Each structure stands twice: as C-alpha cells, then as structure tokens.
C-alpha cells in the first residue's frame, strides 16, 4: 500500500464560513496515484479550504490527517519539468504538466495547486 495523492488546482476566492481560512474554488483535480515525489515541493500549509463533493463539508486536511499544503502554479510546473528530465518516466507527469501550462495566471485571482493525500 502506498501514499496516493491528488492535485487540486484552485482559485482562492475569500472567506465564506471559516474564520481562519479562505474558500477556494476547485478549478480542476488531477489524480497522481502513487507519485511520491511531491514531498520536496508542497511544504507550505495552505490558508484555504475546499468543499468535498457533497458541497457542504470543508476540507482542510487530507485523508491521512495532514493539513493541506500548497505550491504556486509556476513552482509545480518548474518541478515537474525538472522531474521529467531527470527522473524515471511516470505516465501522469506529462498530462498534468500540460494542464498546468494551459492556465493563464493573469486570468485568475489567486491560482494555486493543493496537495491532497488519500
């Protein structure tokens, strides 16, 4: 059994119900499965939360009980480009890289990538 993760591309939108974290709109979700290389980049605890599929439950921790962490779109792109060139091939890297590169940050308020372990 390994540590599986998803990447949530979110747009921070401001506070709705939480007094300590701001709400973030989920723009896209990408399942990375057992890609364990993210320990090096997702180190910052996020200041936002997302809603689960039921639309009511705030998610601030992953399924392992760890706080959600974030990284900038640019940092994740840079990391994945370096990973692609220097590490063993992983078939999910290229599609997520293409997805992340397709976003124009100037069109979004505050776009970040959240790491969620499950």
| Per-domain boundaries in the chain | 1-61
pLDDT of residue 56: 93
pLDDT of residue 1: 52
pLDDT of residue 109: 86
Residue spans of the chain under pLDDT 70: 1-2, 16-18
Note whether 71 and 115 are within 8 A (CB): yes
pLDDT of residue 16: 63
DSSP 76: H
Note whether 10 and 110 are within 8 A (CB): no
pLDDT of residue 18: 64
Token representation of residue 91: 């078939």
Rg of the chain's alpha carbons, rounded to an integer?
14
Note whether 2 and 116 are within 8 A (CB): no
């Amino acid at each position: 059994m390994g540590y599986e993760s998803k990447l949530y591309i979110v747009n921070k939108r401001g506070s709705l119900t939480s007094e300590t974290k701001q709400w973030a709109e989920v723009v896209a979700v990408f399942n990375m499965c057992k890609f364990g290389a993210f320990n090096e980049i997702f180190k910052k605890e996020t200041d936002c939360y997302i809603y689960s599929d039921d639309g009511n439950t705030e998610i601030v921790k992953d399924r392992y009980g760890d706080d959600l962490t974030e990284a900038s779109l640019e940092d994740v792109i840079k990391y994945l480009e370096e990973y692609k060139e220097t590490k063993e091939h992983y078939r999910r890297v290229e599609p997520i890289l293409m997805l992340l590169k397709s976003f124009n940050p100037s069109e979004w308020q505050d776009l970040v990538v959240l790491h969620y372990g499950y």
